Structures are given as structure tokens and as C-alpha cells.
Amino acid sequence: MNLKQTLFVVVTILLSVACTVKKTGELDMDQALKYCHVQVVRTLSEIGTADSIPRNILKDQTRWNLVPVSVTEWTVGFWPGILWYDYENTKDEKIKKQAVRFTELLDTITRQPAYDHDIGFQIFTSYGNAYRLTGKEQYKDALLRSANTLATLFNAKVGTILSWPREVKARHWPHNTIMDNMLNLELLFWAAKNGGGSYLYDIAVSHATTTMKNQFRPDYSCYHVAIYDTIDGHFIKGVTHQGYSDNSMWARGQAWAIYGFTMVYRETKDPVFLRFVEKVTDVYLRRLPADHVPYWDFDTPDIPNAPKDASAAAIVASALLDLSQLEDKAVLAKKYEQAAIDMLTSLTNNYQGGKEKPSFLLHSTGHFPNHSEIDVAINYADYYYLEALTRLKRLGSHNFVPN
């Protein structure tokens, strides 16, 4: 090799190292949002005129698996919600038209009796964003109807919402409340502020207070499911449904807890919830692996060979951006914002679907013990990723350097 050739090789290596550092070390938020828009357009063209919802792309697949709109399908709100966030960021009227189309497909869900607590996920992610961005009365009515439906599952003796009516008999869980249910309190808080009646606020606060008291271990990790007695309302035991074991920290369960109690503090301004969510967050952050994206359960013995759950990371990133704006201690506010940026940087640079698949993210785990949706692309990971990027955009800065 002559001098010229050697120089060329050295410069090429140096350039590629520099690019790699940039690629793994920084978050270009505008670029990430543009990428999400490209993936949304790809997904829309893949769905065409079908009246169904993209739910997942399995590990060996490259196209979305679609599911019909039904009260039994908990994820149907996330795709319309993604379209609303993309519309919010791009102001693209074609995207708005599709957001309207997919949201209104869910009208049927708002007119049925409660199947389970998931009506909150289904309707607040779709109609909640639709009303926020359009102010249309029709959407407000759908939200109020749905809040009243969710409230029918409240058990005053226990003080929480019954998450899964079907499991009362099937598993002999007389009254069961799952941590995921915390997210659905946002629909009740919203409805109470928008003409739905103060009892909806009271139900949400009772649910959060009872959950805070019973559904956490001394280290502030949570049980996925709390089982209560329906006669005197006492807490019987905490168990798991989607985690590794009854006493393990299921990553998405802890993510729901962080997101849920942050939102409850935002809505109530009761400092008890703020001090509590700090502790719930602390155990999650302390136990995270180096790339800020958890394994599907923090206690699975397969670590470091266990599948990751990018959806948990996206949920927590979004929650921590919210929490960073609510926190009254400056050091913690900065810590939460930085942690969220670290998570989004990792997801953006190492977990994107890219050219291979039309999802935003890869590597989420739905229900490991059921052997279902392991290491997949899934619509709720994409929803919370885009929500987090949108929250970051609202904070005003555009380029972020992780710790």
C-alpha cells in the first residue's frame, strides 16, 4: 500500500468511527419525527382501505398483522392516536383525514357496555387526541360516554375499578385490578373536567389511592395484578399475569405505574402522589441495563439473553418527560428529563424498524409467559415513542446529547 492508499484507508476508518459515534450518541428529534411520518405513510399504504388496525409485526415478518375493531381488542386506539400525533407534528391534511377515519371506526366501542377497563386505552388514545386537536363535540360526547362506561366497573367496597370481569369466574379472582388500569384513570379525570360529573374524579382518586396502598412491594416495584375480596374489600394478594413470577418486576407493569402515578399527580396536584412516583421511578431507573431499555422482566433468569421490551422504554420516556415538568425538585426534574432523553436516544439509534419494517420500533415483548408477541414490533410501543418525541418537541430544543 502506498502512502496515498494508506491515508485513504485511515481517513475512511476515522470517518466511519465518527459517524458511528454520532449515530449511537445523539438524538436528532426532528429527524426522528420525520422518520415516524415516513413509517406512518408506509403503513397507510399497506393497510389501504381496510377497516382494521395494525397491531404487530412478528419477528420473522415484514408486514403488519391487522386486527378488527372490537371491545375485546385492547390496542385499537393506538393507531388512530399515532395518526393524530403525526398530524399534530406535520399538519398534513391527508394524515388528518385518516386519523378521523380510523378514530370514527371506534364509535361502536363507545356505545357498548363495559367489556373491561381497556375502554380507557381504546378511547382516550383515539378520541382523546381527536378532541384535543379538533374540539369536535361529537368526539367529546364519545369520551363522556366512555368515561361513564368505565365507571360502571368501579367497586366502592374495594375502592378500585374491576379490570377484568372475565377473570372473576375464570380464575376465581373476585375483584382484580391490574397496574395497566392506572392509565385509564386519565379518561375519568378528563371527563370530570369536561362536564362528566365530579364522581368520575372521585373514582379515579380512590382507585389510585387504593392501588398505591396495596399493589407495591417495600422496594416500590409493583404487582401486576391485585386481588381483592368483594365482601369486605380487603386486599387478598398480589400476583402476575404477564410477568416472570408473582414477585418479579414485570417491565411494562412498572412502566404503567410510572406513567399512571405521574398523570395522577398532574391531575390532582396532591404531593403524596409525586413523592410516591419518585420512588416507583427510582427502582426502575436503578435496575435498567446500560442501553436504557429493559428486559421484558427485570427478574427473569435469562438476562442478559432475555428479550427486551422497547414498549416499556417508550412508555417510561413519555412519562418522565411529563414528570420532569411537574417535579418540584430541580435536581430530580433534570434527572428525569435526561433519563427520558437517554431512553429515546437508545430507541432511536438502536431499536428502529427502519427499511426492514414499517413500524417505528422493534423488540417489544407482549406476553412472554403466553409465548405471544415476543421480540416484535407493536403499535403501543410506537404510540408512546411518538408521544414522547412530541412531548420533547414541545420542550423546545431539537438536538440532545445523552449522558
Choose between 52 and 56: whose C-beta lies nearer to ligand GLY.
Answer: 56
172 C-beta neighbours (distance < 10 Å), count: 8
By CB under 6 A, the residues from 298 to 337 that bind ligand GLY are none
Q: How far is the CB of 360 from ligand GLY (least distance, A)?
A: 18
Annotated catalytic, 118? yes
Choose between 201 and 261: whose C-beta lies nearer to ligand GLY.
Answer: 261
User: Is residue 381 classed exposed, middle or buried when 0-12, 13-18 and 19+ CB atoms within 10 A define those classes?
Assistant: buried
Interface map 363-402 toward ligand GLY (x if CB under 6 A): ---x------------------------------------
Q: Does 357 interact with ligand GLY (rule: CB under 6 A)?
A: no
Q: How far is the CB of 132 from ligand GLY (least distance, A)?
A: 22
**Given the C-alpha cell 393524530, which residue does it identify?**
84
Q: Give the whole-angstrom CA distance, residue 251 versus residue 243.
A: 8
**Catalytic residue (one of 116, 180, 375, 382):** 180
User: Is residue 65 classed exposed, middle or buried when 0-12, 13-18 and 19+ CB atoms within 10 A define those classes?
Assistant: middle
Q: Which three cell numbers stand for residue 31?
A: 429527524
Q: Give the whole-angstrom CA distance, residue 221 versus residue 320.
A: 17
Choose between 194 and 372: whose C-beta lies nearer to ligand GLY.
Answer: 372
Residue 257 CB contacts under 8 Å (≥ 6 apart), including other chains: 179, 182, 216, 222, 277, 280
DSSP E strands: which ranges in 125-174?
A: 154-155, 160-161
Choose between 118 and 322: whose C-beta lies nearer to ligand GLY.
Answer: 118
For residues 259 and 312, is the Cβ–Cβ distance under 8 A? no
Q: How far is the CB of 33 from ligand GLY (least distance, A)?
A: 25
DSSP string, 50-96: -SEEEEEE-TT-SSPEEEE--TT-TTTTHHHHHHHHHHHHH--HHHH
Choose between 180 and 327: whose C-beta lies nearer to ligand GLY.
Answer: 180
Q: How far is the CB of 257 from ligand GLY (least distance, A)?
A: 12
Give strand pairing partners of 68.
52
User: Is residue 137 classed exposed, middle or buried when 0-12, 13-18 and 19+ CB atoms within 10 A define those classes?
Assistant: exposed
Choose between 74 and 85: whose C-beta lies nearer to ligand GLY.
Answer: 74
Q: Does 180 interact with ligand GLY (rule: CB under 6 A)?
A: yes
User: Is residue 22 classed exposed, middle or buried when 0-12, 13-18 and 19+ CB atoms within 10 A define those classes?
Assistant: exposed
Choose between 180 and 267: whose C-beta lies nearer to ligand GLY.
Answer: 180
Number of residues that bind ligand GLY (CB under 6 A): 5
Annotated catalytic, 375? no
Tabulate helix, strand, coil % of the chain (nearest 5): 60, 10, 30
Interface map 133-162 toward ligand GLY (x if CB under 6 A): ------------------------------
**Catalytic residue (one of 118, 342, 375, 382):** 118
Measured at CB, which residue is nearest to ligand GLY?
A: 180
Q: Which three cell numbers stand for residue 275?
A: 413523592
Q: How far is the CB of 242 from ligand GLY (least distance, A)?
A: 6
By CB under 6 A, the residues from 73 to 132 that bind ligand GLY are 74
Interface map 34-73 toward ligand GLY (x if CB under 6 A): ----------------------------------------
Determine which residue in the list 55, 96, 224, 252 makes contact with ligand GLY, applying CB under 6 A: 252
Q: Which three cell numbers stand for residue 318?
A: 413519555
Q: Which residues are catalytic?
A: 118, 180
- Residues lying near ligand GLY in the complex (CB under 6 A) are found at 74, 180, 242, 252, 366
